[in-house]
């Protein structure tokens, strides 16, 4: 068995909000062999078009539960942190770990929900030390401290989040959002590579 | 619909039923339930297929140890002891102390981000412990260390080493999910613990303030 290499791929070398592609280093699960258990793992049928999800479909159960964890952390807006700031936590975590692909997706979402494209771009260009405003800086600093190994998240970050006006429910959303991207970044970074946006 | 087994994140973060953080976690019922189901899919799979239960717990103990989370490490080590020889447990403890550095570090694709490249340990299992752990588990530990500390250094070559050590493509997906899931689970636990401690301190501060006011203290 061997891995797949993409010698012709011009891998992006900077963080961007562009719509990047992703190329797998291992063979995705063959579409014609998908069983009911695999479809359950994919959760949304449309994900069978994605090499990333089709590769993860090789272990369908953990894929299913991972996807459902993800959706509730980011899409359940009945209470807690606004979507824009959950996406900011995801983008900051990805920026700090160095996942250019993940950062591109979640920087785009952060822009979409906050309408603050330039501020989001500063996080990508300047890195996690960028000074944006009290609230965003607190969310970024908390995501970074939680992403360090060993985890460095504690009173300093929590006090800053509280001073920025976040309550415990919102702080737990920051924790969940950043923690989840420590899961996602490692899969995206280690099973394939980003590719430039498709033309046209 | 509730999960029958006790929730591992609640146990390891010391969240009691009816407590404030129990109520906050209940606001994301699907996330809570599926984080637990993820744990069970990885550590109590219906069919362990290519990756054995012993291997899963060995890697988990190593990863939790690298994160310096004693409660989580003790939890996975207890699972490991059911499946592994004492010499293996000892070898894993030795490799944790050899591998416990600070992350994230690693290289970016060559270009403007290269100035952010950060050097760090490229972890190799010691010869002594490789003899105890075997080539397959040793390769898994070296890959797990890469995923924990320098995920941006990942490459097809790193995956090739796993293939060469006997990990199938399916096994590699499971191993990658397991290490990456732990990076999530450990951070949720550490985050919730820190928040609980911070809240306690705040409540203590407020009640001592109230007591001082009640006793007519001058502030």
A8 assigned to some structural domain: no
Domain span at residue A98 reads 81-185
The answer for residues whose C-beta is within 8 angstroms of residue B165's C-beta and 6 or more apart is B135, B136, B138, B139, B140
Rounded Cα distance, B133 and B139, in Å: 10
Please report, for the domain that includes residue B19, its CATH number: 1.20.1290.10
In a domain, A136, yes or no: yes
Residues A66, A87: one domain?
no
Bridge partners (DSSP) listed for residue B104: none
Of A156, A200, A199, A194, which Cα lies nearest the Cα of A13? A194
Q: Compute the count of residue pairs across chains A and B with CB atoms less than 8 Å apart.
A: 209
Residue B103's SS3 state is strand
CA dist A30 and A144 (Å) reads 37
Whether residue A35 sits in one domain with residue A112: no
pTM: 0.96
Q: How far is CA B62 from CA A48, B70, B95, B103, B219, in A?
A: 33, 12, 8, 15, 51
Instruction: Give the tokens for residue B98.
Output: 């050899």
pLDDT of the residue at B203: 85
pLDDT beyond 50 at B105: yes
10-residue stretch averages of pLDDT, chain A, 200 residues long = 94 98 98 95 94 97 97 96 98 98 98 98 98 98 98 98 98 98 98 88
Domain total in chain B: 1
The minimal CB distance from A13 to the residues B112, B154, B169 is found for B112
Yes or no, beta carbons of A151 and B109 under 8 Å apart? no
Q: Are residues A89 and A45 in the same domain?
A: no
Based on the domain organization, do A104 and A176 belong to the same domain? Answer: yes
The residue segments making up the domain with residue B170 are 8-107+114-198
Residue B206: per-residue pLDDT: 84
pLDDT of residue B3: 45
Q: Cβ of B110 and A73 within 8 Å?
A: no
Is there a contact between B172 and B139 (Cβ–Cβ < 8 Å)? no
Q: Any bridge partners for residue A192, and if so which?
A: A24
**B138-191 pLDDT per residue, tens:** 999 999 999 999 999 999 999 999 999 999 999 999 999 999 999 999 999 999
Q: CA of B130 to nearest chain A CA: how many angstroms apart?
A: 23
At residue A119, the 3 state secondary structure works out as: helix
| 3-state secondary structure labels for all residues of B108-136 | CCCCHHHHHCECCCCCCCCHHHHHHHHHH
For residue A23, the surrounding DSSP H or E stretch is: strand A21-24
**Confidence category of residue B218, pLDDT binned at 50, 70, 90:** low
- For residue A187, with 0-12 CB atoms within 10 Å meaning exposed, 13-18 middle and 19 or more buried, which class applies? buried
Q: Which two tokens stand for residue B219?
A: 């502030």
Query: Residue B142: inside a domain, yes or no?
Result: yes
CATH number at A130 reads 1.20.1290.10
Distance CA A102, CA A194 (A): 9
> Residue B214 pLDDT > 90, yes or no?
no
Peptide bond into A52 cis (omega under 30): no
Distance of residue B72 Cα from the nearest chain A Cα, in angstroms: 13
């Amino acid at each position: 068995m061997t891995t797949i290499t993409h010698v012709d791929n011009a891998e992006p070398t900077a963080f961007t909000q562009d719509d990047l592609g992703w190329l797998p280093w291992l063979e995705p699960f063959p579409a014609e062999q998908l069983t009911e258990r695999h479809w359950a793992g994919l959760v949304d049928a449309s994900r069978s078009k994605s090499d990333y999800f089709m590769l993860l479909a090789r272990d369908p159960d953990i894929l299913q539960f991972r996807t459902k964890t993800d959706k509730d952390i980011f899409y359940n807006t009945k209470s807690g942190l606004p979507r824009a700031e959950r996406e900011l936590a995801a983008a900051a975590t990805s920026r700090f770990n160095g996942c250019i692909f993940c950062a591109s997706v979640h920087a785009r979402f952060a822009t979409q929900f906050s309408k603050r494209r330039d501020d989001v771009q500063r996080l990508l260009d300047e890195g996690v030390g960028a000074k944006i405003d009290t609230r965003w800086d607190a969310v970024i600093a908390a995501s970074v401290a939680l992403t360090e190994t060993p985890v460095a998240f504690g009173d300093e970050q929590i006090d800053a989040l509280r001073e920025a006006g976040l309550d415990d429910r919102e702080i737990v959303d920051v924790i969940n959002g950043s923690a989840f991207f420590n899961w996602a970044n490692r899969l995206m970074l280690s099973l394939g590579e980003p590719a430039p946006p498709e033309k046209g | 619909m509730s999960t029958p087994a006790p929730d591992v994140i609640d146990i390891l973060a010391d969240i009691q039923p009816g407590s404030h953080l129990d109520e906050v976690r209940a606001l994301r019922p699907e996330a809570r339930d599926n984080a637990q189901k993820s744990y069970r899919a990885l550590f109590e799979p219906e069919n362990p297929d290519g990756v054995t239960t012993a291997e899963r717990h060995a890697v988990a103990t190593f990863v939790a140890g690298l994160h310096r989370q004693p409660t989580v490490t003790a939890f996975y080590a207890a699972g490991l002891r059911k499946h592994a020889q004492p010499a293996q447990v000892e070898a894993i403890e030795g490799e944790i102390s050899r591998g416990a550095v600070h992350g994230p570090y690693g290289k970016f694709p060559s270009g403007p981000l290269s100035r952010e490249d950060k050097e760090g340990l490229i972890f190799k299992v010691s010869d002594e412990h490789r003899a105890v752990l075997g080539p397959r588990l040793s390769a898994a530990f070296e890959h797990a260390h890469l995923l924990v500390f320098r995920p941006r250094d990942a490459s097809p070559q790193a995956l090739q080493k796993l293939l060469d050590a006997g990990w199938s493509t399916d096994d590699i997906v499971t191993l990658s999910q397991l290490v990456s899931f732990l990076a999530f689970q450990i951070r949720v636990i550490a985050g919730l613990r820190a928040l609980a401690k911070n809240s306690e301190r705040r409540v203590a501060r407020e009640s001592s303030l109230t007591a001082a006011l009640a006793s007519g203290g001058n502030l």
